[in-house]
Structure 1
């Protein structure tokens, strides 16, 4: 029996690389998608494999339609996909008034448009293999946070897409799951963001820990998993009594602004 195939976007980043290691340890054959070709090839060489060129590293810009089509065509040529992990994400923590159109377009293109297009393009192959789609969101997909308007918009959208698609496909063999990490020690968080989290007493997880939490979701029958008890509780409060969260974040706003450009 051939190895199950997992397509992983954002594989050259911190969380992505550790998810790749976890999946490879389960004998998945990985199609690694990312923008940093050197990091992709280093990861490809590191992963355990059954043979040379077992794992595939593909440098892509998921905001580029030609690159998106190239990925979908490759998987259709392979003829198998068991798991799609939409993990790629971009962010710039800035005041909304300072947000450039280029930053806004990149955030929406990578964080929500790409997962939707990859999911749509690979659904026929996933359906043949009882496949799973896991969309990697954020705790900010449930809590609107100051200086993160564009990022929250993209992650709220990804959570809504995941929930809707899971329900749409509930009478098929394809599962759709949503995974929401909290702040993680990766390059997507600048030094200013790390300093802000420290000042506010917010926990930041290691990417190794987040990858293990991802695997717990993958192994379960659950459709969604959030990392961090405090953040999960805060999200529930936000859904039921948003004014409580309004007031809590208003008290933090001056501190948050100190760390922004």
Structure 2
């Protein structure tokens, strides 16, 4: 039987399209490639969950209950559409950060929860918070690969070394051989010289690990979450939808 592919979508900088990438990739894999996908939202902001129409303030149970071992993933997973389930979070999870940090084996709580449901999914995608606290470490320890969205800004480039240090920490201190699946250029504007310069620097630094697809800077991608829709539903023929469809295809081919 094929192994479940577990990927974290991670960057320590906010506003780079991390949640946008996670939820559109999840919908793309489920809908266009008939993959069974579980999206785990380990970001207490709950953006990926909310973008898929989950009423994150009405949750009886959520990911924090799984991490505290008071629930299992099937207890809290919500079916979004055929082949796509989401394990949601909201800001209440932020209050759990300190108690969870004190639990034995705290880095492996998510990995252990996922082992029980692995055979039910082809992909597990984890949307990380923009920092390297206990939640991101849980996500990275539960994944074999990480997708790094980088926005086309000078600060986006500056963040790269911090990400690499964080991954090195996971590899050396926690002995988990996580790989960079790929780096995704987001908020790309072909008319803007800075976009081209940042992309060139990324390619120089990461070489073949940079996805060929460029995610454009578009209003529709920013609007779609407030309508609780993927870009494929909100603006199916627009540049954003075409780009995320291409990106989904690339991720599928890489595995």
Range into which the TM-score falls when normalised by the shorter chain: 0.3 to 0.5
Q: Larger Cα Rg: Structure 1 or Structure 2?
A: 1
Which of the pair is proportionally richer in strand? 2
TM-score by length of 2: 0.46
TM-score by length of 1: 0.46
